Amino acid sequence: MNARTLQATRCNGVNAQSSKPKRVRVVVRAAVEAPAKISATDRVQLGQSDLMVSVCCLGTMTWGKQNTEQEAHEQLSYAFDYGLNFMDTAEMYPVPPTKDTQGLTDKYIGSWMKNQKRDGIVLATKVAGYGQHNTYLRDNGQTVRVTKDQIVESVDKSLARLGTDYIDLLQIHWPDRYVPLFGGGAYDIANEREGDIPFEEQLRALEEVVKAGKVRYVGVSNETSYGVSEFVHAAKAAGLPRIQTIQNVYHLIQRGSFETDLAETCRRHQVSLLAYSPLAGGVLSGKYLQPHPPAEARLNLFPGYMERYNKSQARTATEEYVKVAQKHGLTPTQLALAWCRSRWFVASSIIGATSMPQLKENLEAFSISLSQEAIDDVNAVYKRFRDPPIAA
């Protein structure tokens, strides 16, 4: 499959040197041309790879926890019939992760893929980074690390659960070294660990599964500018697989960590952003602002989970974004997803739904083009509330 560049062409059929007199046809054009139609199914190239994926990626992390296998299949069939071709999973899913449910998401995807054409699916998954609390992921029960043996084990198990013989995009879920994760605040040298797996060694481990034909391309997740640059430089110096993507959090109430230096770093190195949690775990839908939020909503089902998105300042910021959405005749979900899609550095946004109405609203939101006034209003709110989920 070769990467293709989609180009819009315009036809101007005026012949100024006609030998016969012709009637002049006056064509009345609008003073401002209507913007080109956009959709969740539009395709974009990932990094320097030949992967052409939909600008909306189907997230899967609730399948096996909040969603049954049947519901997962319903979402998959609807999304791919709609025109998506991209989905993302992980060896540790569903979340919140537990030993008893680990791998169910992959198994649900695998049972659905049995009746699908594999070459019509771009399948991304993730191998876990450093971890002492998820040792059940490995047969030897040791601390999870990004080593050759552990990557090979992870990939082999993922392929078995998914019922396929290759993964299109394998991502390191979070770094092997210490970095502040999931709203963890500023970098603290007191949390640094000895014995980090060197970047080149991690790439050589990834090369093992690429050369074996089990993985086509590799990427990172929850990574920093330092990490991206080190991976790119190590790959170039040693002739190893280069990272094509970075899957990081990006949404209305957590923007700064990517917009400041990661945006430039990724642009210079041709690494594409896969924006996860564009609705901040559902908070930006506005549903938690209700007097009685749905009992089955994620933050209610799992107390303490993603609570950083619903604390005082984050909650106040969400209220302001809801007002912006109302002003422009949009639902809060439409505003959040359309805004994320409009950012020049976002290649694909990863959506997650627990119901079919949610999934349908999410998909349709990618067809909305925000006015400059709406974007200005969003930025005005952001100036007042800069990244409230990040701990001080």
Q: Is 7 exposed, middle or buried (0-12, 13-18, 19+ CB in 10 A)?
A: exposed
Note the pLDDT of residue 35. Answer: 62
Pairing of strands 272-276, 167-172: unpaired
pLDDT band at 113 (very low <50, low <70, confident <90, very high): very high
The overall longest dimension of the chain from CA atoms, in Å, is 86
Please say if the pLDDT value at position 291 is more than 90.
Answer: no
Which pLDDT score, from 0 to 100, does residue 301 have?
74
pLDDT tens track for 143-162? 999 999 999 999 999 999 99
Cβ within 8 Å of residue 38, ≥6 positions away = 341, 366, 367, 369
pLDDT digits (tens, 9 = 90+) for 175-224: 999 999 987 888 999 999 999 999 999 999 999 999 999 999 999 999 99
Q: pLDDT confidence of 292, banded at 50, 70, 90?
A: confident
| pLDDT band of 311, cuts 50, 70, 90 | confident
pLDDT at 294: 80
- Rounded to the nearest 5 degrees, what angle is found at the Cα of 101, between the Cα atoms of 193 and 112? 115
Between residues 105 and 5, the one the model is more confident about: 105
For residue 163, pLDDT over 70 is answered with yes
Task: For residue 36, give every residue at least 6 positions away whose Cβ sits within 8 Å of its Cβ, in sequence order, or none.
Answer: 8
Instruction: Count other Cβ atoms within 10 Å, centred on residue 274.
Output: 24
Q: Output the pLDDT for position 32.
A: 43
Instruction: Identify the band that residue 370 occupies on the pLDDT scale cut at 50, 70 and 90.
Output: very high
- How far apart CA 157 and CA 95 sit, in angstroms, is 18
3-state SS record for 162-211:
HCCCCEEEEEECCCCCCCCCCCCCCCCHHHCCCCCCCHHHHHHHHHHHHH
pLDDT at 172 over 50: yes
Region 12-35 average pLDDT: 41
Q: Please give the pLDDT value at position 14.
A: 34
Report how far residue 244's alpha carbon sits from residue 65's, in angstroms, rounded to the nearest whole number. 30
Alpha carbon distance 92, 102 (integer Å): 5
As given in the structure block, the two tokens for residue 185 are: 């605040």
Residue 338 has pLDDT above 50, yes or no: yes
Token pair, residue 128, equals 């876990």
43-281+333-368 maps to which CATH number?
A: 3.20.20.100
H/E run at residue 227: helix 225-238
Please give the residue that has the higher pLDDT: either 309 or 341: 341
Distance from C-alpha of 89 to C-alpha of 125, rounded to nearest angstrom: 5
Pairing of strands 122-127, 86-88: parallel
Considering the chain, what percentage of its residues have pLDDT values greater than 90? 82
* Residue 34: band (very low, low, confident or very high) from pLDDT cuts 50, 70, 90: low
> 256: how many CB neighbours lie within 10 A of its CB?
12
pLDDT of residue 227: 98
Q: What stretch of H or E contains 220?
A: strand 215-221
For the chain, give the mean pLDDT. 90
Catalytic pick from 78, 93, 226, 276? 93
What's the predicted TM-score (pTM) here? 0.90
> Is 392 strand, coil or helix?
coil
- In order, the DSSP letters of 139-150 are TT-PPB---HHH
The pLDDT of 111-120, averaged and rounded, is 98
Domain ranges of the chain: 43-281+333-368
| Dihedral class, residue 158 (left if φ above 0, else alpha if ψ from -120 to 50, else beta) | alpha
**What is the H or E stretch that residue 321 is in?**
helix 312-327
Q: Which of 1-15, 120-134, 330-344 has the lowest mean pLDDT?
A: 1-15
Task: Please confirm whether the linkage preceding 198 is cis (ω < 30° from 0).
Answer: no
**What is the per-residue pLDDT across 350-369, written as a single tens digit (0 to 9) for each?**
999 999 999 999 999 999 99
The pLDDT value given to residue 17: 36
Structure tokens at 199: 């970047």
Annotated active-site residue 93? The verdict is: yes
- Residue 302 confidence (pLDDT): 79
Q: State the pLDDT at residue 3.
A: 36
Residue 19: its pLDDT value, please? 40
